[in-house]
Chains A and B, each alone.
Chain A
Amino acid sequence: MSLISVYGSFIRNAFLKMLAYRARYYTGIATYLFFVAVYYFIWQAIFAGKPEGYRISGYTLPEMLTYVSVGWIARSFYFSNIDDEMDDLVRSGQISVYLLRPVNFQAMMIFQAVGEALFRITFFSLPVGAVILLCFPINPPPSSADFLLFALSTALGFLTMASINFLVGLLAFYFKSVDGIMRAKYNLINLFSGLLLPLSFLPDWLRVAMEVLPFKSIAYVPLNFYLGKVPPEQIGSVLAGEFAWAFGLLAAGMILWTRAASRLTLQGG
């Protein structure tokens, strides 16, 4: 079996797994609607009484509402459970089975996440997007080039997110329970990726730090591409930055995986 079909089968299995959970599928769609609703109303309230076209930290109300809706729709695509699944594998001891297989574990996990993401984009993001579009106003991007940049940037965001999740998943080798850490990661990323609010809202010292760190690739950068807010002369360097972080984190995961896995064999499974 060729390498492509091996990893292809991971993608396929992820599809089947996602389809098996019917209740979660429906509630999942509803959840995204709730999320968008909460932030939609918060932003409405923030802009209440302000004149039309008023900007806060560089965003008008229609821009902000689009930012929130598109942000959550994109999240339904890039979100992944790699850390949670690695935790399960370590807890149940099944991880040792994977160590025996002639496949790269990290690649397998990431391809599984790709499978889930492809599943989500077809069966989840589209219906979520349709429902949100019906309930809340979303403006189209200024040009199709902006949309393409958004799509490319989101794909890099997905890779960044998956790599971070893989790194967090490695902690399962070191701690008895990583539930708390995973919850903290979840909240930190929602905030510092710019999903909850654009990073331009942060106080200066924190904003500077977040400009350097990789989290902005996940939401803030793609959404600014969508809104056409990235100046043309910066597009190249912004994408290069996303690229560098995504693959840097991937490489870090690869190196640290070998160390974590050797811990397992030392303990005797």
Chain B
Amino acid sequence: MIYNLQIFGAYFAQFLKTRMSYRTDFFVSLVANILVGATGLLFVVFLMDGKNITELNGWSRAEVLFIYGYAMISMAIFSSVAINLYGFGNRYIIQGQFDRVLLRPLNSLAQVLFESFNLDSIGSLLVGLATMLYAARILGISIGMLDVGWLFVSSISGAVILISVFVVLSSVSFHFEDRIGIAPPFYNLISFGRYPITIFNRVIQFILSWVIPFAFVAFYPATHFFNRTGFELLCYLTPLVALVSVVVAWVFWQFGVSKYESTGN
């Protein structure tokens, strides 16, 4: 474990060194990332202007914003490592870089995830946090130490769920050689996880809870802070769902690796 952390630290240090040598680039990306976070948020703000439209099927504007901000936090953590999954099919399979990964005495998935990072996502993490705090004030939510602990555990769990889903999708690249792979379209699917799940119909609710568990990324854990009943069990199931997702992802990944053909050049 200590060994793994040391290696992780070394990878991160190397990454920082290269990243910092392109400083303007970093700031441009950071601004771009804040814009990405802000535009998503603006959609909700414009949609529910607070005058004509004050609620979304029973969810108040502040609640919707709170969930949205919550989702942004998990997603920012996710996207800080997911950058490698995004281009996995092209970079690792088609260009054959996965050979190098397999030649190291380290876990292959951990190497892919931690080979580079997307630090820009700190931008949307801050936007998300600010949104959440703003909404909490309107809702009159007081946040104690335990709540902070839950926010920490659940947002990490949320990120883990997202990573797991995309590991499963990326491992499809082992079977079908395709420059793009099937994962990118699904990045857009994350949108479902940013809204109160009850606005969707039953089939979608079921899928978001038990097939592609994006509802656990923000919605269920966020209900911890609301004065509502009906979600207590699902809310605290979040860490367990994350754990199960990891196991499923690992099985898919291992199966994919066994089918790796290393034809790239």
Contact = CB atoms under 8 A, between A and B. Distances in A.
A108 interface: no
Nearest to A50: B53
B133 interface: no
Given A175-B28, A180-B28, A56 B178 contact: no
A165 to B, nearest CB: 16
B259 interface: no
Contacts of B186: 27, 31
A159 to B, nearest CB: 23
Given A24-B178, A34-B192, A181-B32, A187 B56 contact: no
B95 to A, nearest CB: 10
Nearest to A37: B204
A28 B191 contact: no
B57 interface: yes
B36 A184 contact: yes
Contacts of B46: 197, 201-203
A31 B185 contact: yes
Interface string A169-210: 000000111011101100110110000110001110000000
A101 interface: no
A30 interface: yes
A181 B28 contact: yes
Nearest to A20: B178
A183 to B, nearest CB: 5
Given A23-B172, A23-B178, A56-B52, A176 B22 contact: yes
Query: Secondary structure at chain B's binding surface: helix, strand, loop or mixed?
Result: helix
Given A34-B188, A41-B200, A46-B47, A24 B29 contact: no
Of B47, B52, B172, B191, the most chain A CB neighbours within 10 A belong to B47
A35 interface: yes
The size bracket of the interface on A is: 35 or more
Contact of B33 (A34, A46, A48, A180): A180
Given A41-B200, A176-B22, A187 B176 contact: no
Nearest to A34: B189
A126 interface: no
B49 to A, nearest CB: 8
A201 B47 contact: yes
Given A41-B200, A187-B36, A24 B185 contact: yes
Interface stretch (B8-16, B37-45, B134-142, B158-166): B37-45
Contacts of B28: 175, 180-181
Contacts of A31: 185-186, 188-189
A21 B180 contact: yes
B56 A21 contact: no
B195 A175 contact: no
B53 A42 contact: no
A191 B178 contact: no
A59 to B, nearest CB: 12
A267 to B, nearest CB: 15
Contacts of B191: 35, 38
B120 A190 contact: no
Contacts of B42: 191
Given A27-B182, A38-B192, A46-B56, A184 B32 contact: yes
A56 B49 CA distance: 11
Interface string B5-31: 000000000000000001011001111
Contacts of B25: 175-177
Nearest to A32: B185
Contacts of B36: 180, 183-184, 187
A56 B52 CA distance: 8
A45 interface: yes
Nearest to B79: A183
Contacts of B30: 180
A44 interface: yes
Interface in A102-158: none
A29 to B, nearest CB: 9
A199 to B, nearest CB: 9
A138 B195 CA distance: 24
Given A175-B24, A181-B32, 16 more contacts: A22-B178, A23-B182, A24-B182, A34-B192, A41-B200, A42-B195, A44-B57, A45-B57, A175-B25, A175-B28, A180-B36, A183-B36, A184-B35, A184-B36, A197-B47, A201-B47
Interface of B: 22, 24-25, 28-33, 35-36, 39-40, 42-43, 46-49, 52-53, 56-58, 83, 120, 172, 176, 178-182, 185-186, 188-189, 191-192, 195, 199-201, 204
6 contacts: A21-B179, A21-B180, A24-B178, A48-B56, A177-B29, A180-B28
